[in-house]
Structure 1
Amino acid sequence: MKRRKVGNMLGLAVLSALLERPMHPYEMATVLRERGKDGDMKIKWGSLYTVVGNLEKHGFVEAVESVREGARPERTIYRLTDAGRAELEDWVRELLGEPDFEPPKFRAGLSLLPALGPDTVAELLGTRLGALEERLLTRAEALDGYRAEVPRLMLVEAEYELALLRAEADWVRALLHDLTTGAMPGIDAWRHFRETGQLPEDLGAFAEGGRE
């Protein structure tokens, strides 16, 4: 991934909001929240003004005017510059065209299964599966509700989320089945290790040799 002058994902969200029209930061946050952008990318709202300031510093946005409404503090309205539009387009190209192979936290947990016993792992996977199925149902219902009013172009990220949720739920369900039925090879040795602290020779050699 390219090292960017403003690498915070909130910066990308701000550039996308200003693509529509000039706004002050409070309006940017309102628009982004209404469109669920904090569900599409990791956003820390507390850094909004700092991010906008950094975008201005590097020429991606510029102040066009300051307005005051009643007794409210003065607000600065920003617009997207040509450099900002180019940065936005380049950033989106990168996100769409370059796969992100950063290991998820779940993979890290799976790599350390022996730290827990098979029964505990099965219990935790059952909890995870329940959460996945609940979110899958909620997000699917929300997507169905949007389809009648919102063009598919604006919903593809929700479709992608559902695809990932279904795939993970199916995989966790299958793993959970193998754990609870004893179909997973090596489960008895795993349980023995947890009870005695002694790693079987075949698993010990595998752990010491690593995975090619």
Structure 2
Amino acid sequence: MNPTRLFILGALSKRGPMHGHQLRRDARLDRAELWSQVKPGSLYGALHRLEAEGLIRPLRTERDGALPARTVYEITPEGDRELKALRDEALSDVGIRPDPFDLALAVSGDLPPELLRGYLLDRIAALRAHASRFDHERDRRWPDQSPTDDLIVEHATMRVHTEIAWHEKVLATVERLAGTAHRETGDTPRPEATSTD
């Protein structure tokens, strides 16, 4: 499921015809990058792909003063069908994706404890920065914010706080995790051979 396609088609269906700059502004106002994988900079390329697929069509071109001309798009009937399919897929799919960090942790038994601790502390600091941003956004309303928007921000906030708690649990076990590569494989450092001359 492509979240950028879902965002564009959903916005055009809900708010009516728009040009790329309006979609980008709406993505920033809705803070889509906080709670989805939609990046405002990716919207223009996606608009051209959706047009090529017949899911949206140009309605008119607008020019405001000295600004460049902007193409206003509307959703097509085929785009409306695609929107419903994408929405159904997203609502049905339980998207708990594996975190590459888990795999890296599984093969990190040879790392010195202080190095692993450093990685964890850096990750916890980054997660706390995310949590702080979510907490700030939750206290700041944006235009047309709905109860659904409140729930979405709360969901993102709860997820990041859970990540912080798990990382802190791993941090508390760093000493036990260190050197597990040797224990798990049965390899133990061998003393150097001594000469019997």
Return the TM-score normalized by structure 2: 0.79
The root-mean-square deviation of aligned C-alpha atoms, in Å, is 2.6
Partner of residue 99, structure 1: 94
Q: CA 1:145 to 1:25, structure 2 compared with 1: closer, same or farther past 3 Å?
A: closer
Q: CA deviation at 1:34?
A: 1.6
Q: CA 1:78 to 1:157, structure 2 compared with 1: closer, same or farther past 3 Å?
A: same
Q: Aligned to 1:135, which of 121, 130, 133? A: 130
Residues 99-178 of structure 1 aligned to structure 2 (within 5 Å)? 99-146=94-141, 150-178=145-173
Q: CA 1:76 to 1:145, structure 2 compared with 1: closer, same or farther past 3 Å?
A: closer
Partner of residue 15, structure 1: 9
Structure 2: distance between partners of 1:110 and 1:84: 43
Q: 1:204 aligned to 2:188?
A: no
Runs of 4+ in 1 over 6 A off after TM superposition: none
Partner of residue 210, structure 1: none
Q: CA deviation at 1:165?
A: 1.0
Deviates more, 1:161-170 or 1:131-140: 131-140
Q: CA deviation at 1:41?
A: 2.8
Partner of residue 54, structure 1: 49
- The residue type paired with residue 85 of structure 2 is D
Return the TM-score normalized by structure 1: 0.74
- The residue type paired with residue 58 of structure 2 is A
1:17–1:32 Cα contact (<8 Å) kept: no
Q: CA 1:79 to 1:35, structure 2 compared with 1: closer, same or farther past 3 Å?
A: same
2:61–2:69 Cα contact (<8 Å) kept: yes
- The residue type paired with residue 11 of structure 1 is R
Q: CA deviation at 1:136?
A: 1.5
Structure 2: distance between partners of 1:164 and 1:46: 25
After superposition, the C-alpha distances for 1:33-80 in whole angstroms (9 at most, x for unaligned) are 221113333345454333212211222111112222233332221111
SS state of the match for residue 30, structure 1? helix
- The residue type paired with residue 60 of structure 2 is E
5+ unaligned residues in a row in structure 1: which ranges? 2-6, 194-198, 206-212
Q: Percent identity?
A: 24
